[in-house]
Amino acid sequence: MLSSRAVQFQVPQTTAQDAAEEVGMLFSQKVENSSKELTQRKLRTLDPQMQRIQGVEQLSELYEQLGHPGQLSLGQLARQVRQELLLTPDVDSLLTLTGGDPARTHVVLQHVTDQAKAQGREIEAALARDFQVQVQARYHPQIQAGMNIALALKTADGDAALRQAVRVLYYSSVVMKQSLVNITQALLGLFGEEGISAGLGMMGRALADDLAAYRPSVPTIKLRALLLGLHSCSQLGSALSDCRFFLERLATRERQVELSAVALLQRLLGYASTDIDADEVQGLSQQLGGDRLSSQLVSLNQVYPLIQRLPPALWSDQEKREATLHLFLSLMGEHTQAEGIARLTPGLSRYIR
């Protein structure tokens, strides 16, 4: 379940004016794109009243693409924001009110501003615009990304909560810090074994749309590297099946392990981005094999190939991969010596005395 509280993003410091200019250009681009889809409705009419209606339609289209976890319409949320503006709120409270997404907050404030101007409420329009500038100053990279990928995420079968979860993941693991491991771990948690392929596809479309945008949220070289890396992870579904099969066999032959296939693969993926030591390997060995060294050895021999087959793009460098594999081999050697049994080739599930 998604929290209704605003997610606190950390962004580089920038001036309100610079942020407003950057996001303003992006917003103009998105509105222009929306207008192309509405050409059959005579978007270029010179009637001011029709122009105002068209602006509402374009904002509504953007809002629909972003979605809202609570299924509130743009009009409903705009009314709530208008009431909040009377209470002298801060940016955080507005972000919370609009569902914790800076891109959605930006769209709603734009809608409130436009409505207030059209109806002659100049003070309200100025107040809404002032908060919009503040939101842009603090979150302009996220707003930019949210606009770029909104259409790509709209394919989430109408699940606005899932769309927002993927978008928040995009903000944290693409915009602020490019981490393929974090992306894959989070997608496993969001989509599970049955939906991981769809999750990878959704994230791939988002990266591609961001890369092709007039103003990408991060340098294109970084987006391209993430997109290529994500493509190399297309077989994560198979890796997840291997983890499930391993755990099922372990439960049948040895002991019941309170570890899901998703949790096991997420843990193994973590080894690709963080430094681990012998204690971590020993802890996993005991969790999988229990107290018996022979059972631990069998488990380690089954886990070792799973780590070997992780996509190379996930590893921060080759040395980390080799060091991690060496830790597993070393512990297997220690268990072998302690048990006085023949050394196993990694991948075998039985030992020979």
pLDDT digits (tens, 9 = 90+) for 88-99: 889 999 999 999
> Counting Cβ atoms within 10 Å, is residue 277 exposed (0-12), middle (13-18) or buried (19+)?
exposed
**Predicted local confidence at residue 290, as pLDDT:** 84
For residue 218, give Cα distances in angstroms to 13, 32, 210.
15, 22, 9
pLDDT exceeds cutoff 60 at 233: yes
Q: Residue written as tokens 């809202």?
A: 68
Handedness of CA 208, 212, 213, 215 (dihedral sign): positive
Token reading at 324: 């991690």
pLDDT exceeds cutoff 60 at 78: yes
Please give the Cα distance from 205 to 79 (Å, whole number).
33
Secondary structure (3-state) at 213: coil
Confidence class of residue 36 from pLDDT cuts 50, 70 and 90? very low
Secondary structure (3-state) at 90: coil
Reference 299, options 311, 312, 286; nearest CA is 286
pLDDT digits (tens, 9 = 90+) for 169-190: 999 999 999 999 999 999 999 9
Please spell the DSSP secondary structure of 260-319, one letter per residue: -HHHHHHHHHHHTTS---HHHHHHHHHHHHTT-HHHHHHHHHHHHHHHHTS-GGGSS-HH
Domain boundaries, the chain: 16-230, 236-339
For residue 349, give Cα distances in angstroms to 253, 260, 295, 300.
10, 20, 9, 9
pLDDT exceeds cutoff 60 at 83: yes
Calculate the average pLDDT of the chain.
82
pLDDT digits (tens, 9 = 90+) for 270-314: 999 998 999 999 999 988 888 888 888 889 999 999 999 999 999
**Predicted local confidence at residue 221, as pLDDT:** 96
CB atoms within 10 A of CB 117: 16
**Predicted local confidence at residue 52, as pLDDT:** 53
Residues 294 and 286: beta-carbon distance below 8 Å: no
